[in-house]
Amino acid sequence: MSERKATIASRVGLHARPASIFAAAVGELAIEVTIALETDPAEDAMDASSILSLMSLGAANGDVVVLRAEGDGADEALESLVKILETDLDAE
């Protein structure tokens, strides 16, 4: 299982537009990706391709989240997803 941490850079946190962009990127992958707040137990991780899950996560600007995935290409996939989360998508 691969795991990466990312700090939410979007000013509104992982909500609405940033959540939509991130969920779409996860949905294009051939592997399952989960997301959880760094302070939450791993078993509370949510489906990272679900906009509703992402919005209910409540990740605000500056919060650290943990992404987990397993399978071929998991490391590379998580690296690309971290870049999305660590970009202020509200500024674009």
Would you name the residues annotated as active-site residues? 15
Q: Indicate the residue type of 78.
A: L
Tokens 């537009």 correspond to what residue?
17
Q: How far apart are the first and last CA of the chain?
A: 32
Helices 17-27 and 74-85, packing angle to 10 deg? 170
